[in-house]
Structure formats: C-alpha cells, structure tokens
Structure 1
C-alpha cells in the first residue's frame, strides 16, 4: 500500500512532539507522555467517550509541543483566567499546527483542555505497568542489544503513536479517533510481557503467538463491557495494513520507533556552535555583554 499521501513537512512537528516523552515537571510523576497515557485510560474507564478523550489528548499534546508541562491547570495556578489560559494554549498550538489538516486543526482547537484531573489514578493496572515497562532498545537476532539510556517506556510509545496516528489520519483518509485508539491499545501485552525486542520474538518461536495472546488476555481482563470489546477488536485490524486506520497506525508506529533512535543519535552529535549560535544559549538580555566577557575570560567554548 502507498504512503504517498504523507507530507514531509509534518516530520519536524512529529520530532518536536516526540520530546513529550522527555518533558517533566516538579508536580508530574513521569513524563508528559506517560501521564497523558494514564489519564486517557483513566477517563475511558470512567466511561467517557473515546472521541472527547482522543481530541483532548491530541490537542493537549500540540499545545505542549512548545509549552511543555505548562498546561491549563498550571496557568490557572499562576493567576491566568480561563480566557487568558485558552489564548496561551491556542497560540502554542498554532505555532506548530501549520502542516496539519485544517479541519482536524479546527476540531482540536475547540478541544484544547483547560483543566486536567486525576484520571490517571483510575487507569487500570496494565496502564500503570506499561508506564514502568522499558522498551527493548535496538535488537537483532544473533547480535547483542544496543542499549539506549534513558530508555522510553511503553506508555510513552503508545501515547506518541496514538497522537501521531491521529494527526496523520487525514493523509490516509482515516478516522483520527480510531487511529488514536489503535495507538493507545496496541501494546497491551507488554504490561505483563517484558520487551525483548525482535531478538526475543524470534527466540520465543514457535510460542510467540500464544505468549502474546495470554499477556494480552491478562490486560483485557481488567476491562469490562464495551471498552473490553473495543480493545479486543483492535488487534485483527492492525495485524495488517488493509484499512486506512491501520495504515495510519502503522505509519505512526514505525515513525515513532525510528525517531526515538534518531533522538539518541542526535543528542550525541550536538555541537557548541549549534547551542551558542543557532539556539542562543547566552541570549539577549541586560547582562549578555557581561556573560560574553565571562565566557571569553575563561576560554569557553
């Protein structure tokens, strides 16, 4: 199947959003992405509909691309009223939303969350386990593992795949909410099953399918009714790329996997010229001249 509908202009935004796996704050247990994943599951378990949860999560992620953990609740704590807070969040969204489908962007602008709650406390046990379960790193049968530290966890990955898939859905003619749902659900088995990567999967043959099914069943058993049925129904469809939603999901999954490795590679190649020049680490201000003199005096960089 062709992925020709994807616009390369979207890639810088996906890179930026991927850093939500690394955005933290003093009042946040885990990364922005992990916390978002737990909140999403908590809201679903409480009985909220997937449409409102998906839109709020993707809109919140777009706002956080530039604002980080400075969400609506934090802005309110620091004295902004709802109108001012909404304006700040929407400005942050608008800074990065240029490559996105306009209709989807308008939907997300209406859904930008002003208030978060403690829904992560209601997230099922498997969601919390995914927030603790590390990803495998780079593995290949017959070769030693390449460890990447600090490693992401499966909640980070699932949250980002859900966001990416929703944002890329229009390129595939897919439903953004179903794409978000596929990303949210796709690693349920890793709550109980440590990630040994491609190498581990090959070593588990011919038992791999049975092991994944059992691990997945244990997670699904924590859900009830329609939510359990909806989660269980995902796996057959994403086993291939036969539907627009499956294609958007698989595109998001592979992009997130590669961008995560790219992050580690790029972090090791940052130069002082980039930091001081392009990024203006010592930026304009009332004491910049003195700062420059100090750095020259001590021989930095």
Structure 2
C-alpha cells in the first residue's frame, strides 16, 4: 500500500504520462523457495558498498576484477563460480574480512577455512541443501585467495568498474539521481553471484548463470548508461550498438571463453532456458534490491542504530556507556 501512495505522489510531482507498457509474456513458474534466498542476496549485495583501505573500489568490484582475471588465464568457470559464491556468502557477515585479510592477520590455512565455513553456515537455513553443500565444498577455493597471486584483469573489467549505472529511469520523465551510483562492475558481479546461487532452484548450470551475469554489460565499456529512458531514445539503433560493442569486447577474450559467453548472451532474449531464467531472476532482483537499499538508507534513523542494530552492544563497559548517554540526554 505504501508504494502505491508513493507512486501516486510521484505522479503529482511529475504529471508526465506514463509510457505504454509492453505486452506481458506468458508467465513461467518461479520456485516458491525463492523468497527464502532474498535476505541472503540482500546481504551479499551490500558488498557493493563495502570498502577497505588500499583497495580500488568495493569488495564486489575487486571480486569482479579477480573473477575476470582468472577466467582469461583459463581457470574453469565452474570453479570460479563456486569460489566466488562461497566468498560472497561468507562476506555477507564478514564484510571486508576475507581470506586475504585473515591470512595477513596470521591465521593458518585451516583456521581461515574454519572462519569462512562458519560464516557461510550462518545462512544454512536460507540456502537449499544442494547449494549449501556446493558452497561449503568451495570454501577451500575461497580460502586459497589468501595465498595465491592474483592475475591481471582485462581492461574492460577495469572500465566497467568505472562506468556508473543509471539507476531507475523512465521515458518521458526527469531522472531521479540516487547517490552514490553503483558501478557496472558492482552490478555484474552481483548478478553473477545471485545467478549461481539461484541456479539450483531453476535446475540451471551455476557456471553458465555466473558467466552470463558477469558478461551481460560488455557494451557499457563504451556506452555510458542512460537507463531505460535513454535507451528508448536510441530506438532501433540500440540493438545494433549493443551487438557491435559487445563483439568488440568478446574479441579480446580467449576463443573458447568468448564462444561460450557469446552463446549465453544470444540466449538471454527469453526465459526459456534454465540458465537464462536464473540470470533474469538475478538481474531483476539486483535492480530492485539496489533501489530498496536507497530507500532503507534514506529511512535510517538513530532508533535503527540504537534499538535494532544494538550500536551500544553488550560489553564489560556497556553499563558505563549507557550511563554516559543518559547523562548526555542521548538515550
């Protein structure tokens, strides 16, 4: 109900007529268990906003570059997909405390694996059994990131981490800017991980869903994102532009990898294939969760921090902290 009122309010502020809606395609069955995974996806998506000293960009962007670096050096797509999903789900609670940090802090390989496994298990109730087994099996791969040397990411991965997303736009309306914008590296990484996490629900290949998510915005290496509003103005030129620019980047990939990604991109025009369904579910969920993040951030209050998130949490000195706040009139 609240969102309907909000929509009505927007119409008052901007009385431009809404664009005609496209005909609705026949619905596909969507697994009911999808709702159980949304809280995990929401937390994983917050890695688009987690940063650390000495890093370039967010945790998500660093993982995006690392995944592409390993892909171009020939690492198996399935191995990378499972590793990135395990690291992402562990990072949902650990944030920037990843395998690299744990090893730098002096933890042994075994202790590092134990921490990551414990963090993945935090979401055991939301993840399906098959997905959970896959992630726990991939923890050693995620833990190995603390000791192996990272490769060099292709240039397009770096550019996509610099290319901002347009956010929600609508033809015929002024755009609403939500700051700070996410990057295409952030979004593509999130869609790749979401797709692989959703793959078991759709009986899809996690590697295909991951690779499709990782590579579905190659055209934005050159084309700034103008959103739905700008794309509608490109009209019949849009398809040709996207195809030409995508092929420019595919030509920079190793032949087998380029061929596999090209085939996946060709099949994303519908939701008939299982991997395409996992990808489209991941894509739309990330777009909506990103908007909901801005809504939640705008509604953030001291009550949220103090009561819901226990900013002043239990500790040997928490009673003193509480007394200080009471004396200061802040509680």
- Normalised by the length of structure 2, the TM-score is 0.87
Output the CA distance in 1 between the equivalents of 2:166 and 2:83. 30
Query: 1:45 pairs with 31, 49, 72, which one?
Result: 72
Query: 1:91 pairs with 92, 95, 118, which one?
Result: 118
Output the CA distance in 2 between the equivalents of 1:227 and 1:299. 61
Where do residues 61-140 of structure 1 align in structure 2 (5 Å cutoff)? 61-112=88-139, 113-116=142-145, 117-119=148-150, 122-140=152-170
8 A contact 1:39–1:118 mirrored in 2: no
Moved more, 244-253 or 206-215: 206-215
- Aligned counterpart, 2:40: 13
1:17: Cα distance to partner? 0.8
Q: CA RMSD in A?
A: 1.3
Output the CA distance in 2 between the equivalents of 1:266 and 1:158. 22
- Aligned counterpart, 1:269: 299
- Aligned counterpart, 1:293: 323
Moved more, 110-119 or 85-94: 110-119
Deviations 1:15-50 (A, max 9, x none): 111101011111321111111111000001111111
- Aligned counterpart, 2:11: none
Structure 1 consecutive aligned stretches of length 4 or more whose deviation exceeds 4 Å: none
- Aligned counterpart, 2:12: none
- Aligned counterpart, 1:36: 63
Where do residues 212-291 of structure 1 align in structure 2 (5 Å cutoff)? 212-291=242-321
Where do residues 179-198 of structure 1 align in structure 2 (5 Å cutoff)? 179-198=209-228
Unaligned runs of 5+ residues in structure 1 are none
Output the CA distance in 2 between the equivalents of 1:26 and 1:89. 21
1:272: Cα distance to partner? 1.9
Output the CA distance in 1 between the equivalents of 2:124 and 2:178. 30
Output the CA distance in 2 between the equivalents of 1:126 and 1:242. 29
Unaligned runs of 5+ residues in structure 2 are 1-27
SS in 2 for 1:286: coil
Output the CA distance in 2 between the equivalents of 1:48 and 1:254. 28
- Normalised by the length of structure 1, the TM-score is 0.96
The count of aligned residue pairs is 300
8 A contact 1:54–1:177 mirrored in 2: yes
